[in-house]
Each structure stands twice: as C-alpha cells, then as structure tokens.
Amino acid sequence: MTRGKFITLEGGEGVGKTTNLAFIKDYLERHNISVVVTREPGGTALAEKIRRLLLDTGSEAITEHAELLLVFAARAQHIKHVIEPSLAKGAWVISDRFTDATYAYQGGGRNMRISTIEWLEHLVQGNLKPDLTVLLDAPVEIGLQRAKIRGALDRFEAEKSSFFEHVRRAYLLQAELHPERIKLIKANCPLDDVQRALMDVLRPLLR
Ligand code: TMP
C-alpha cells in the first residue's frame, strides 16, 4: 500500500481556509484519491476537548507554556489516532492547520522561543512533516473583519491586531525558510484565482 500524502492548510484568521479546504478535497477526490479532512487543534475526541479549552474565553488566564503544551498534546493524539493510520492506509490527509500554526501563533504571536517549539515538534512528530503546506495570506485587517462577521470571537480571535501582524510575519518567515514545502497563495483576490493557484501547487503531488 502506497502511503498517502499529508497536506496542511495555514493562514491567519478569516483568510478563507474552510472554502479552500473544501475545494482541495473536491479536486483530489476527482482524481480518485481517498481523502481524510481534519483540523488542529482537534481531530480526535480528546484533541477536540483540548481545542475547546484553548479557544474558550474562560476566566482563568492560560499561560503561554500551558497553551503551547496543550497545542502539542492535542497534536500527539491527532498524529497517533488519525494522521498516521490514515496515511498508512493510503488516504491523503488534509489538515486545517498543523505545526506551522504553532510557529506563527505561539512563536510569532506570543513571542515564544523557536528552539522550544522545535524541541516539542521533534518530540511529538519525529520525522513527520507535511508533504505540502498551503499558506493563504491576506492583510490582517481583511481577515479580522471576516472573522468578526462570523460571530462571537474565540480566545485567539479576540487578540489585538498587532498580535495578528506578528502571526502573519511568522507565517511568511516559515514560507521563506521552507520554500520547497510551503506554497504561498495570496488570498485577497477573486476565488477563481486562488483556486487556480491551488491546482498549480496540487498538480505536482499527483504525479
Ligand atoms: P481555527 O481552526 O478556527 O482557525 O482556530 C484555531 C485557533 O487556534 C486559531 O486561532 C489558531 C490557533 N492555533 C494556535 O494558536 N496554535 C496551533 O498550533 C494551532 C494548530 C492553532
């Protein structure tokens, strides 16, 4: 059985991940690929509980270390119970966010040490890396407006716009550091253009 491919979709708030994820799923299925769509934080029962803890605007402030460890705890469950078994069965896994989000939000947004994130990445993932990461990029204000229209803000969405400027910068830096894996797509243009760009980056994986 040929191992499936692992694709992750990244970007700041309100860049259109949901719409484009559905497009990627559809595109791959039209090429007779079996697809598993999942998300982070989340993807398993326990990881979804951790997601609620992370997004909840509860009364007790979550420390940066607790936040980082919760993100990786959820990821450990997700890898073991969903990502690895699906890839081993030959399915392609598309995850709405993965570890680049940790470099962007905890590394960029929270200004946590990159070496700490690298250490946890190695501990939790071993050699697992996405085969392709699509980074949807749009100016922060555009994304935040879209997120606000969607309804009540979660614990991350409620951050200041300077937080998201740092997140965006950290994502762009990740793309610069890993150009072979991370493909940057401008998200503030007509949907047709975004989807054409998506097909361009997916096509080489189909060979
Ligand atoms: P979303 O899936 O609706 O975008 O919400 C997930 C939130 O979690 C988003 O604001 C980014 C945040 N997040 C992190 O801070 N670190 C991570 O590693 C991941 C995967 C998500």
Which stretch of DSSP H or E encloses residue 152? none
Whether 16 and 194 have beta carbons less than 8 Å apart is answered as yes
The DSSP letter of residue 106 is I
Residues 155-170 have a mean pLDDT of 96
Q: What 3-state class would DSSP assign to 127?
A: coil
User: Per the confidence metrics, is the pTM higher than 0.85?
Assistant: yes
For residue 15, tell me if it sits in a domain. yes
Residue 146 pLDDT class (50, 70, 90 cuts): confident
125 pLDDT above the threshold of 90: yes
pLDDT digits (tens, 9 = 90+) for 25-46: 999 999 999 999 999 999 999 9
Please report, for the domain that includes residue 34, its CATH number.
3.40.50.300
Residues 6+ apart with CB under 8 A from 207: none
Q: Check if 105 has its Cβ closer than 6 Å to any atom of ligand 1.
A: yes
Cα angle for residues 63, 100, 65 (degrees, 5° grid):
15
Domain total for the chain? Answer: 1
For residue 150, tell me if it sits in a domain. yes
Substitution site in 48, 135, 156, 159 for ligand 1 pocket (most atoms within 8 Å of beta carbon): 156
Ligand 1 centre distance from Cα of residue 36 (Å) = 19
Q: Check if 100 has its Cβ closer than 6 Å to any atom of ligand 1.
A: no
Protein residue whose Cα sits closest to atom 3 of ligand 1 = 13
pLDDT digits (tens, 9 = 90+) for 52-98: 999 999 889 999 999 999 999 999 999 999 999 999 999 999 999 99
For residue 85, tell me if it sits in a domain. yes
Whether 103 and 170 have beta carbons less than 8 Å apart is answered as yes
Q: Which long-range contacts (CB under 8 A, 24 or more apart) does 61-67 make?
A: 62/155, 64/106, 64/110, 64/112, 67/106, 67/110
Protein residue whose Cα sits closest to atom 15 of ligand 1 = 105
For residue 1, tell me if it sits in a domain. no
Q: Check if 97 has its Cβ closer than 6 Å to any atom of ligand 1.
A: yes
Residues 6+ apart with CB under 8 A from 197: 185, 186
Average pLDDT over all residues of the chain? 96
Residue 20 belongs to domain spanning: 6-206
Ligand 1 centre distance from Cα of residue 207 (Å) = 31
